[in-house]
Amino acid sequence: MLLIGLTGSIATGKSTVSSLLSQPPYSLPVIDADLLARQVVEPGTPGYKAIVSYFGPSTPELLVPAGDGMPEDGPTGHGRPLNRPALGRRVFGDDEQRRKDRGVLNGIVHPAVRKAMFKAVMGSYVRGHRAVVLDVPLLFESKLDRYCGTVVVVAVRDPAVQMERLRARDPHLSAEDAENRVRSQGDVRDKARRCEARGEGHGVVVWNDKGKEELAQEVRRAMEEIEKHSPRWWNWLMWVCPPAAAVLAVWGYLKNGRINKAWEEEELRERAKL
């Protein structure tokens, strides 16, 4: 089974591409890391308790206020849900404290998401799917790209397009808040270059500076390139022969590790020139 890592940055259109891939003619199962990240911090979960324990004492508005329709112990009796805008203000930004807090939050959420993601991938494999999409905003940063046979980055060439879409989608964000959120996920053009460094068919960039029709054409082009280098008969062969699939997975993991190391060394050389 082919693992397609789908990533991008906030307001570049990743969710739209994910939706297109889940529908005909592709009909691929999508494992949404954002959805899993919400589930693993719902009231009553270990992730929820860890977040409240760390952020609660210094973030009074961390939980949704109690009131009409929201009892003190929450709708499930396990606590009030997290106030996500308040948590976002706490962790998004470039200053040292926000970076530290974001690291703590990631350290709570990421392991739980990985566990849930692994279960979902194995479920798709058992059901005989030829490919599955891992929709992960921080695919490279979390190093999950090492497990993917192909990576797709949804990007925009013009940073102004990204900011305009974010402000239109989330009008409650100030210009500063919007810029902090964009910066927290890194420059999507850097992700595009890193994706292309994986090689033809193994790293594909979907450019989304225009409208929905052009985006659908870009997705079609990307999938044609992916299928050219990973034909369906090969994926079915891996399904009927689990030992071969396991060997191929290990080989791909090691290969991706070498690609990542070469990329990081190149980045260090480029920075040294500045």
CATH code at 81? 3.40.50.300
**Which of 81, 103, 128 corresponds to the end of one domain?**
128
Per-residue pLDDT for 38 more than 80? yes
Residue type, 160: A
**Which of 109, 128, 147 corresponds to the end of one domain?**
128
Q: Domain span at residue 75?
A: 35-128
How far is it, in rounded angstroms, from Cα 191 to Cα 207?
A: 12
In the Cβ-directed half-sphere of 157, how many Cα atoms lie within 13 Å? 4
74 and 86 both lie in a single domain: yes
Look up tokens 């991938």; give the residue: 121
Give 163-205 as a DSSP string. HHHHHHH-TTS-HHHHHHHHHHT--HHHHHHHHHTT-TTTEEE
**Which of 110, 128, 146 corresponds to the end of one domain?**
128
50 and 179 both lie in a single domain: no
Chain segment 142-156, per-residue pLDDT in tens: 899 999 999 999 999
Give 30-84 as a DSSP string. EEEHHHHHHHTTSTTSHHHHHHHHHHGGG-TTSBPPPBTTB-TT-TTSS-PPB-H
Q: Is the four-CA dihedral 136, 137, 139, 141 of positive or negative sign?
A: negative
Structure tokens at 97: 């404290």
More confident residue, 242 or 70: 70
Structure tokens at 199: 């090689």
Chain segment 39-87, per-residue pLDDT in tens: 999 999 999 999 999 999 999 999 998 887 888 888 888 899 999 999 9
21 and 45 both lie in a single domain: no
Q: What is the mean pLDDT of residues 238-247?
A: 78
pLDDT band at 274 (very low <50, low <70, confident <90, very high): low
181 and 206 both lie in a single domain: yes
Domain count for the chain, please give it: 2
